[in-house]
Amino acid sequence: MLVAHRIRLVPNNVQATYFARAAGTARFAYNWALAEWQKQYETCKADPTLPKPSEAALRRLLNSIKREQFPWMLTVTKNAPQIAIMQLGRAFENFFTGRARYPRFRRKGQDDRFTLANDQFRVEGRRIRIPKLGWVRMRETLRFAGRIVSASVARVVNHWYASVTVETSDLPAPHVENQGTVGVDLGVKVLATLSTGETFEGPKALRTLLMRLRRLSRGLSRKVKGSRNRAKAKLKLAKLHVRIANIRLDSLHQLSTSITRRFHTIGIEDLNVKGMLRNRYLARAIADMGFGELRRQLKYKAAWRGGQVVLVDRWFPSSKLCSGCGYRLEALALDVRHWTCPGCGVSHDRDVNAAINLKNVAVSSTASACRGEGSGPARERKVKPAPVKQESNRKVNYG
C-alpha cells in the first residue's frame, strides 16, 4: 500500500531560495513541454507521417538543448525538470482516458513544487537530504516504515512541505469497536447524522471567518499593484485561506477516523456535489462542509481497517422513505425537518430517518453481494462481482 506523509520543512534562507529555484525550473519545464507538445501535435496533424508527441521524446529533447539554451537548469536537481515532463505525460494519459480535463499551464505562486525520485534523496530522523543542497530540517519524523518511493516539495503560502510517499504493509489497527453497519446522512446545518442518532456539527470555518476574509480582500483590492504593501496584504489573505482549509480538514479527519474506527460497513449517498454547488443560495454552505473530502477520507480509511463504504444511488429517496414501514412520501420540502408517517404513525427526524435508510441499504447490499445478486439501490458496478463469503467479524492480519 502506498501512503504519503506530509511534513513541514524548516529551511534557512539559502535552502528556501534553492526550493524556489527548483520549483521554478520544474514549472518552466512543464510549460515548455506543454507548448512543445501542442506545437508538435499541430505539425503532426498537417503531416501524418511525422511521429506523435510523447513524454519520453520531450525529455530527450530537453536534455539535448538545456546546456546551451537553459544552463540555469543545471544549478538544481535533474529530477525537477525531468519528473515535471513525466507528470505532463500522465496528465495527457488521464485526459485521453476521460479521467481529467486538458492539461493547463502552471502558474507561479500556485504551482510551486518539484518532485524527487527515491534514489535522489534520503530521510534520517527529522531531516531530509536534497541533491545539490544538503540536509534540511523537518518538523517531525517520518510516520510510516517501508520502502520510500518518492518525495514532493511544495510551497503553501510562505512555508515549504515535503510529501514523502512510502510503500508499506503497516496498516492502522483494526476496529476498536466493531459496531457493524452505520448510515451517514450529510447535510448543511449538521455535517453528518448517523443512524445511531449521533450528530456531528461542521466547523463552518468559512462562515465563521467570512467577515475577516472580506475585510482582507477589500484591503488587498485597494493596494497599488506591484507595491510592497500589496504583497503583504496578499500574504495575509493567503494565510487566512489556508487557516480556513486547515480547520475544515482537521474536523473532517476527526469525524472520518471516529466513524471508521467504530463501524465496519458505512452507507453514504453518492451526492452530486458539483451539481449542488450550482444552487446560488446554498453553494457557500455546501462548499464549507467538504462533502467530497469526507467521502474520500471515509473510503481510504475504511479500506485501511478492512471495512467498506457502500455508495447509495443519489436518486434513492432516503428522506422521503419511512424507515419503519417503508411508506414513501410524494413530496417533502427542504425546510421540513420532522414528519409523521401516514402509514404507521411514527414521527421521524428527517436526517436520522435518512441515515437509517442508508444503513438498511448498506446491509442489504452486503447481503446481496454474498448471494451473488445485484446490489439494489446501491451504485451499480460496471463489472458484476463474483459471489464471495463475507464475514464482518473476520480476523485481519495487520502485522
Catalytic residues: 185, 269, 351
d(CA 263, CA 126): 35
Q: Is 106 exposed, middle or buried (0-12, 13-18, 19+ CB in 10 A)?
A: buried
Question: Directed axis angle between helix 55-69 and helix 13-46, to 10°?
Answer: 120
Distances 245 to 71, 192, 206 between C-alpha atoms, Å: 39, 18, 8
In this structure, are residues 95 and 137 in contact, taking their beta carbons and an 8 Å threshold?
Answer: no
Candidates 3, 375, 371, 334; CA nearest to 168 is 3
Q: In whole angstroms, how far apart are CA 15 and each of 41, 77, 136, 162, 188?
A: 39, 13, 8, 13, 44
Question: What would the DSSP string read from start to end of 150-170?
Answer: EEEEEEETTEEEEEEEEE---
- The maximal CA–CA distance of the chain, rounded, in angstroms, is 82
Distance separating alpha carbons of residues 17 and 23, to the nearest angstrom: 10
Cα–Cα distance, 139 to 345 (Å, whole number)? 58
Radius of gyration of the chain (CA): 26
Angle at 148 between CA 143 and CA 150, to 5 degrees: 110
